[in-house]
Amino acid sequence: MLLAMASCDIQEAIEQEPLDQISEEAVWDDPALIEAYLNDIYLGMGHGLYEVMLSSAADETHFTHGYGIPDIVESTVSPSNRGSFESRGDFNHWDWADLYFRIQQVNTLLSEIRDSAIEDQTVIDSYVGQAHFLRAYFYHNLLRIYGGVPILTSPASLNDEDLTPARNTFAETVDFIVAEADSAAALLPVEQSGDDLGRASAGAAMALKSRILLFAASDLYHQNPSGMDVTGYTGGKSQEEMWRAAKQAAQDVMDLGAYELFRPNPSSDEEASQNYYELFLTEKPANPETIMERYFLETRDDGHNPGLDNGPNGYHNWAGNTPLQNLVDDYEMEDGSEFDWNNPEHAANPYEDRDPRLEASILHDGSDWVERPSDAVQYDGDNVIQTFAELTLPDGSVVPGVDTRDGPIEDWNGSYTGYYLKKFIRNDIQHGSSNKQEGSWIFFRYTEILLNYVEASIELGEYADARRELNKIRTRAGMPTYDATVSGEELMEAYRNERRIEMAFEEQRYFDVRRWMIAPEVMNEQAQNIHITVDGENQADRSTYSNYNYQVRSQVPGNRTWDDKMYFQPIPFEEMNRNDNLIQNPNY
């Protein structure tokens, strides 16, 4: 009898559901759990405001603390050491394994949803549409990082005979992403609203299609130096056909009439600068430029703390992703001419009369900022950024700026470049310590669509179309527009610089320099910083400063080196080991 009772107890214990887990069967029997399952998939989209930003893997910012970024900018990555792409969760939305985990989730949802506990066909269609968008998004990230990848459309299990799929071609992967985006757009509303803000919409799916077709039309994938069908086209559609498709995809989004530029007609340079700054801090529906964004709350620990991560160390911040002088120099003068250090007037006042977006995006020496913490007021009573290297006082003593690595506050942090990020960071809260800010990360905005349209138009020789849309962006920025005398290569050069400035730090530049095949030029440039000296009566009183001197130097740690293998990231070593059918990317 004792043995029988013990046997029953053991059997009951075996059949108990784990208290900290939910079975897969239970998920599809509960509409609330199904919605939670879908919500979790969205987390795989990541965002661009983690501590390490993709801008530091390009020619926009320098990441102060390393964390694998030097492996990328010095071209030392390998299948077993992919730098920031494997060492930190910040780049999970580019990681092979994490993206395929999310794709497995999407495939599972699509295989279960129609026989689930949800009976409302409208809800099912919405979930299916969102799933198709998410699968397209994850594959578009895989394509941009790795090229053609295995296309999986059903959930895999350990019982499957073949768990070693080969890579699909680049062309097949592009076509699959486009088809998924079309499927999503057919099932979803043009825009989401209310409690559904932040979810995929038809507009977001069409914006994704516009982006991927622009990539597919670009030089890297048509010149295809490796000749491999997983890194570009080896036949089929011509590049001109692809540019035509890219232009049409952008036009389709424009024709929706659902989006427009945020505050498109400023009355002054100051207003243009403020508008651009507020663009990234104003959420839908108040912001008609946003197509899709991810929201953050101050009360949640979800990785959104751009002030602490990137702000000046004189505010007890960490000075993470700090803008390079190379980028600062590419902001034009307000009259549309190039900034030039050989021009004495420019060199004497390098931050005056510049493109209004410079002041909106980058904190430099002399920028107004938020109130100082109590232990820093003695060094700065004006709440003005101090990145000068040397301030000479009347008694002959020399002191560094409070926001430098030699300053009196958190001198183990601090920018090597002399600049800090301002874009995305609110100026109405105190930064430092663990303060988080409420806000959002924009995945797609209307300006990108206009820029896509402009690029395709230039490539097709349709310069009037390109100037018309490019001038809208310039007008919103408070910059002069282009007339009919600007066309051809001159217009293309102007467009590329405009895209660099307008989309700075938005996870665009890393890919743009590759698809345009200008990475061997720009990624070999030494990262530059600014060295500033000044005289003054009182460090805490900026009005007493005079005799500013600015010198551009190459004193940013590391040697930026380009290797053509860096057009694509390597497939991870462990993935190659477990799947003999995978072909590694060239030169790894």
pLDDT at 15: 55
pLDDT at 3: 45
Distance CA 569, CA 196 (A): 35
Q: DSSP letters of 167-195?
A: PPPHHHHHHHHHHHHHHHHHHS-SS--GG
In this predicted structure, the answer to whether residue 504 has a pLDDT above a threshold of 80 is yes
pLDDT at 305: 86
**pLDDT band per the 50, 70, 90 thresholds, residue 89:** confident
Residue 148 shares a structural domain with residue 105: yes
Does residue 288 fall inside a structural domain?
A: no
In this predicted structure, the answer to whether residue 381 has a pLDDT above a threshold of 70 is yes
Residue 96 shares a structural domain with residue 192: yes
pLDDT tens for each residue of 458-490: 999 999 999 999 999 999 999 999 999 999 999
Q: What is the mean pLDDT of residues 40-60?
A: 96
The per-residue pLDDT of the chain, averaged, comes to 94
- Ranges 13-27, 270-284, 368-382: which has the least confidence: 13-27
**pLDDT band per the 50, 70, 90 thresholds, residue 14:** very low
pLDDT tens for each residue of 297-315: 877 666 578 999 999 999 9
pLDDT tens for each residue of 532-568: 999 999 999 999 999 999 999 999 999 999 999 999 9
Distance CA 556, CA 319 (A): 14
pLDDT at 434: 61
Does residue 471 fall inside a structural domain?
A: no
pLDDT at 432: 67
Distances (CA, A) of 408 to 331, 343, 357, 368, 402: 31, 34, 30, 20, 6
Q: DSSP letters of 339-408?
A: P-TTSHHHHHSTTSSB-HHHHHHEE-TT-B-SPPPGGGTTT-SS-B----SEEE-TTS-EE--TTSTTSS
To which residue do tokens 């290797």 refer?
A: 563
Domain of residue 429, residue span: 299-437+527-553
Residue 187 shares a structural domain with residue 49: yes
pLDDT tens for each residue of 263-294: 999 999 999 999 999 999 999 999 999 999 99
Does residue 168 fall inside a structural domain?
A: yes
- Ranges 82-96, 116-130, 443-457, 548-562: which has the least confidence: 82-96
Residue 258 C-alpha from the chain's centroid: 23
CATH of the domain at 90: 1.25.40.390
Does residue 542 fall inside a structural domain?
A: yes
Does residue 504 fall inside a structural domain?
A: no
Does residue 498 fall inside a structural domain?
A: no
In this predicted structure, the answer to whether residue 255 has a pLDDT above a threshold of 70 is yes
Residue 222 shares a structural domain with residue 352: no
In this predicted structure, the answer to whether residue 165 has a pLDDT above a threshold of 70 is yes
Q: What angle do CA 17, 19, 21 make, to 5 degrees?
A: 80
Neighbours of 8 (CB within 10 A): 10
pLDDT at 68: 95
Distance CA 132, CA 178 (A): 10
Q: DSSP letters of 11-49?
A: HHHHHPPPTT---HHHHHT-HHHHHHHHHHHHGGG--S-
Residue 239 and residue 324 in contact, taking contact as beta carbons nearer than 8 Å: no
Does residue 273 fall inside a structural domain?
A: no
Is the C-alpha dihedral spanning 336, 338, 343, 344 positive or negative?
positive
Q: What is the mean pLDDT of residues 105-113?
A: 98
In this predicted structure, the answer to whether residue 203 has a pLDDT above a threshold of 70 is yes
Residue 221 shares a structural domain with residue 88: yes
pLDDT at 4: 47
Higher pLDDT, 158 or 381: 381
pLDDT at 2: 47
Residue 549 and residue 532 in contact, taking contact as beta carbons nearer than 8 Å: yes
Residue 91 shares a structural domain with residue 228: yes
Residue 114 shares a structural domain with residue 189: yes
pLDDT at 158: 78
Residue 113 shares a structural domain with residue 85: yes
Residue 207 shares a structural domain with residue 100: yes
Residue 141 shares a structural domain with residue 66: yes
**pLDDT band per the 50, 70, 90 thresholds, residue 433:** low
Peptide bond into 285 cis (omega under 30): yes
Total tally of structural domains belonging to the chain: 2
**pLDDT band per the 50, 70, 90 thresholds, residue 24:** confident
Residue 138 shares a structural domain with residue 175: yes
Residue 103 C-alpha from the chain's centroid: 21
Q: DSSP letters of 540-559?
A: T-GGG-EEEEEEEE--SSS-
Residue 50 shares a structural domain with residue 30: yes
**pLDDT band per the 50, 70, 90 thresholds, residue 20:** low
pLDDT at 13: 44
pLDDT at 249: 98
pTM greater than the 0.75 cutoff: yes
pLDDT tens for each residue of 322-345: 999 999 999 999 999 999 999 999
Residue 152 and residue 100 in contact, taking contact as beta carbons nearer than 8 Å: yes
Does residue 44 fall inside a structural domain?
A: yes
pLDDT at 23: 82
